[in-house]
């Protein structure tokens, strides 16, 4: 347990002892729990304890969930280096784990742990109390051993929040779900995503799709020629947003102040130098470069993002759901640079760029086949989870 959890509440904490029955929920220290350490895995916030609950935490408390502890995370949740996301669920220590999904971390962690991972539509779940890095793309991701706990979380936590000013002015999403009938459902296969896989992995993924056709789903190839641009746009726009967001950790507004400075300028330099690890610094330097030296590239990335949104909308209109890989076999197992992180998130970053939901379905236990990543239009969260539950029944021989 020590390697999984960064913090376990004392037994005198009512959340850990004598709590009402409910989902046992582990949380990354990027989400605020009043009185708990909330360092987001970053030196900049060492020894910081949250003053109040994040909205998702308070809504889970109201729904009767039990918070079991804080899991280990990479710096500000960026990538999986140093993260133990998913292991609390895999080990049985939690039914649910909440993580920050910046570029696909929830789905990649789920694939690593062999569990379910879900990224909700942007704006569905409040980000109030979430210590983030990329405001326009990050959200609260969910890891679970099965689909039903994810649905329970969404029904408890989703909806408007007057404390989160970034939420779109929309009605609460319909999370009632509904049944998915295989014979009436078309699944689109994103050709360019499959083409980006190495040959053996591509053939294995295509072979796994035979399960869908055998179950009565109609498969249809869907073309997204600009699919490779999703990761590039995410890296440029994300780095700029991260550089801007991290500016608050200057030892005046937030963050520790390094000793020994002779003047204000030295204080800023020393404190910010100690506030971030090498990997994150590299990412922030990239963002500063695009902000101050190559701003035109950032503007172009924003224009391309708008084009990608339109292309994805056209693709999702051709099928009820899209299916594509989640993991990149060609990526390094451990990310040491931002480029490594984007190699890992080659097939997941798209959903953060567009704000649409994405669900990772693990293969059945004992089966040597790739997991699937399902996605649909923004705000189709409930229907996507219903599709996942239907597929689970098929894969486990229940339907």
Per-residue pLDDT tens for 167-214? 988 887 778 767 788 889 999 999 999 999 999 999 999 999 998 998
Structure token digits, residue 112 = 């690593």
pLDDT band for position 1 (50/70/90)? low
CA 377, CA 358: separation in Å to the nearest integer?
9
Mean pLDDT value of segment 217-234: 97
Q: Is the dihedral of CA 263, 264, 265, 270 positive or negative?
A: positive
CA 141, CA 101: separation in Å to the nearest integer?
5
Per-residue pLDDT of 282-328, as tens digits, reads 999 999 999 999 999 999 999 999 999 999 999 999 999 999 999 99
Helices (H) and strands (E) in the chain, counts: 14, 11
Structure token digits, residue 283 = 């990412």
- Say if CB 153 and CB 60 are below 8 A apart: yes
Residue 133's pLDDT is: 95
CA 124, CA 175: separation in Å to the nearest integer?
10
The residues with which 65 forms a beta bridge, in sequence order, are none
pLDDT band for position 11 (50/70/90)? low
- Say if CB 345 and CB 330 are below 8 A apart: no
CA 265, CA 385: separation in Å to the nearest integer?
51
Residue 2 has pLDDT above 70, yes or no: no
Residue 325's pLDDT is: 97
First to last CA, the chain: 36
Per-residue pLDDT of 170-179, as tens digits, reads 887 778 767 7
Residue 20 has pLDDT above 60, yes or no: no
More confident residue, 365 or 263: 263
Length of the chain in terms of residues written:
399
Nearest to 99 by CA among 62, 137, 67, 72: 72
CA 330, CA 332: separation in Å to the nearest integer?
7
Residue 14's pLDDT is: 46
Residue 243's pLDDT is: 95
Residue 15's pLDDT is: 47
Q: Is 260 left (phi over 0), alpha (psi -120 to 50) or beta?
A: left
Count the neighbouring beta carbons within 10 Å of the beta carbon of residue 59.
20
pLDDT band for position 398 (50/70/90)? very low
CA 265, CA 258: separation in Å to the nearest integer?
12
Residue 397's pLDDT is: 61
Per-residue pLDDT of 56-115, as tens digits, reads 999 999 999 999 999 999 999 999 999 999 999 999 999 999 999 999 999 999 999 999
Structure token digits, residue 182 = 């295989």
| CB-side neighbour CA atoms (13 Å) of 242 | 28
Q: What is the mean pLDDT of the chain?
A: 92
Kindly list the domain boundaries of the chain, sorted by start residue: 5-233+298-395, 234-297
Residue 267's pLDDT is: 85
Count the neighbouring beta carbons within 10 Å of the beta carbon of residue 192.
14
The residues with which 160 forms a beta bridge, in sequence order, are none
Residue 265's pLDDT is: 82
Fold of 5-233+298-395: Amidase signature (AS) enzymes (3.90.1300)
pLDDT band for position 16 (50/70/90)? very low
CA 66, CA 23: separation in Å to the nearest integer?
6
Per-residue pLDDT of 342-374, as tens digits, reads 999 999 999 999 999 999 999 987 677 899 999
Residue 171's pLDDT is: 80
CA 83, CA 71: separation in Å to the nearest integer?
8
pTM of the entire predicted model: 0.93
Mean pLDDT value of segment 135-164: 94
Pseudo-torsion of CA 188, 319, 172, 132, nearest 10°? 30
Nearest to 137 by CA among 347, 321, 350: 350
């Amino acid at each position: 347990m020590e390697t999984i959890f960064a913090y376990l509440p004392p037994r005198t904490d009512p959340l850990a002892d004598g709590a009402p029955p409910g989902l046992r929920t582990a949380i990354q220290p990027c989400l605020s729990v009043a009185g708990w350490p909330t360092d987001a895995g970053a030196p900049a916030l060492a020894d910081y304890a949250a003053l109040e609950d994040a909205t998702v935490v308070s809504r889970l408390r109201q729904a009767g969930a039990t918070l079991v502890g804080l899991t280990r995370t990479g710096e500000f949740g960026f990538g999986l280096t140093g993260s133990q996301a998913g292991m609390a669920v895999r080990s049985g220590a939690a039914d649910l784990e909440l993580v920050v999904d910046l570029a696909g971390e929830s789905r990649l962690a789920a694939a690593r742990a062999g569990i379910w991972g879900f990224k909700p539509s942007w704006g569905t779940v409040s980000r109030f109390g979430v210590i983030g890095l990329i405001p326009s793309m990050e959200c609260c991701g969910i890891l679970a051993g099965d689909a039903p706990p994810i649905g329970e979380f969404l029904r408890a936590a989703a909806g408007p929040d007057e404390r989160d000013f970034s939420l779109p002015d929309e009605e609460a999403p319909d999370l009632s779900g509904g049944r998915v009938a295989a014979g009436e459902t078309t699944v689109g296969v994103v050709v360019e995503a499959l083409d980006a896989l190495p040959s053996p992995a591509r053939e294995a993924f295509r072979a796994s799709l035979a399960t869908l056709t055998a179950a009565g789903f109609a498969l249809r190839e869907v073309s997204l020629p600009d699919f490779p641009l999703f990761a590039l746009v995410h890296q440029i726009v994300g780095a700029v947003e991260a550089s801007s967001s991290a500016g608050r950790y200057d030892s005046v507004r937030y963050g520790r102040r390094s000793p020994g400075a002779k003047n204000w300028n030295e204080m800023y330099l020393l404190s910010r130098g100690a506030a971030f690890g090498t990997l994150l610094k590299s990412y922030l330097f990239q963002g500063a470069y695009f902000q101050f030296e190559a701003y035109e590239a950032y503007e172009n990335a924003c224009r391309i993002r708008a084009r990608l949104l339109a292309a994805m909308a056209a693709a999702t209109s051709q099928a009820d759901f899209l299916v594509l890989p989640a993991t990149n076999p060609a990526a390094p197992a451990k990310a040491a640079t931002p480029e490594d992180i984007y190699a890992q998130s080659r097939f997941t970053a798209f959903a953060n760029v567009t704000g649409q939901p994405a669900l990772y379905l693990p293969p059945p236990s004992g089966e040597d086949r790739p997991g699937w990543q399902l996605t649909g239009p923004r705000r189709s969260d409930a229907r996507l989870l219903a599709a996942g539950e239907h597929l689970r029944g098929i894969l486990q021989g229940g339907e």
